Amino acid sequence: MTAQLIDGKAIAQQVRESVAAEVAKRAAAGKQPPGLATVLVGDRVDSATYVASKQRACQELGMVSFHNHLPADATQEQVEELVRRLNADPQVNGILVQLPLPSHLDEEHVLSLINIEKDVDGFSPINIGRLAQKGREPLFVPCTPYGCIYLLEQAGVKIEGANAVVLGRSNIVGMPAALLLISRNATVTVCHSRTRDLPAVVRQADILIAAIGKMEMVRGDWIKPGAAVIDVGINSKPDATKKSGYRLVGDVNFEEAREVAGFITPVPGGVGPMTIAMLMKNTLRAAQIQDP
């Protein structure tokens, strides 16, 4: 079997177009454009790149972005003061604190200060808590896991009743992905670095979400025939044929897995483009909540 490719780039583009159309409709009705405030603390190159792409996406979709950059040695008080100011700013509908914060800062407390109606990353304890509770709805769902579920739904994969295995239990990807799958009535197993006999667990999966950050660790013979495989991992693999000297690969060995799986996301071009598309969707939603 050769798996059907789930084209994250095309699906993300559709999400962006529908967000842009809704933003234009709101503008025509005289409403202010949705505003996203980004907060970057320090000078990590990867974080700065992610923030720049989020700002670019805002501009492309007719939204406004407000960038806030604090030095790497910013104090807890300075970061908290900034979040409070953004909470009070009516032009700001969504607040995104780029993670990870420098290690001297209390990330959990910073995230807890974000007004729940502006928590477009979905990481405030209230939004995550609601996601974990039956019958409660978070206002926002974390963007990467939201993107994973959206890809499954768009591909027509049946989540209800499926055996789903999530590799990884991080706050950002693995755990919220597992909670989302449970909320959609999958039976979920969450694996991590202490899981015994990972291949045997993965072989039970009708749906596999891999988010461990280990290059091509999931082999083809771990995959249940016909399974849907969502590969969140982004790893640099040395490749002398590339100008950069490397290429991006996922946590799943794509060439092997595509021969067994029913559906698979490529890396790049799978989950990656969905993260920013879902952030844009969340930012529009924040504007709709605050100014219906």
Give me the helix-helix angle, 143-155 and 8-28, nearest 10°: 110
The reply on whether position 219 binds ligand NDP by CB under 6 A is no
Report if residue 101 touches ligand NDP, rule: CB under 6 A. no
Task: Compute the 3-state secondary structure of the chain and give helix, strand, coil in percent, each to the nearest 5.
Answer: 40, 15, 40
Q: Does 144 bind ligand NDP (CB under 6 A)?
A: yes
Binding flag, residue 234, ligand NDP (CB under 6 A): yes
168 binds ligand NDP (CB under 6 A): yes
Distance CA 186, CA 72 (A): 42
86 binds ligand NDP (CB under 6 A): no
* Residue with Cβ nearer ligand NDP (33 or 147): 147
Among 16, 272, 277, 281, binds ligand NDP (CB under 6 A): 272
Residue 26, both tokens: 């709101």
CB nearer to ligand NDP: give 235 or 288. 235
Stretch that binds ligand NDP, among 27-35, 90-98, 164-172, 176-184 (CB under 6 A): 164-172
Enter the tokens of residue 203. Answer: 């072989």
Instruction: Out of 118, 119, 121, 206, pick the active-site residue.
Output: 121
* Stretch in the footprint of ligand NDP (CB under 6 A) among 65-73, 130-138, 155-163, 167-175: 167-175
DSSP string, 168-236: ---TTTHHHHHHHHHHTT-EEEEE-TT-S-HHHHHTT-SEEEE-S--TT-B-GGGSPTT-EEEE---EE
**Residue 121: active-site member:** yes
With contacts defined by CB under 6 A, how many residues of the chain interact with ligand NDP?
25
Which alpha helices (DSSP H) does 7-67 contain, by range?
8-28, 45-60
Closest residue by Cα to residue 283 from 50, 59, 42: 59
Residues near ligand NDP, by CB under 6 A: 144, 167-170, 172-174, 191-195, 198, 211-214, 232-235, 271-272, 275
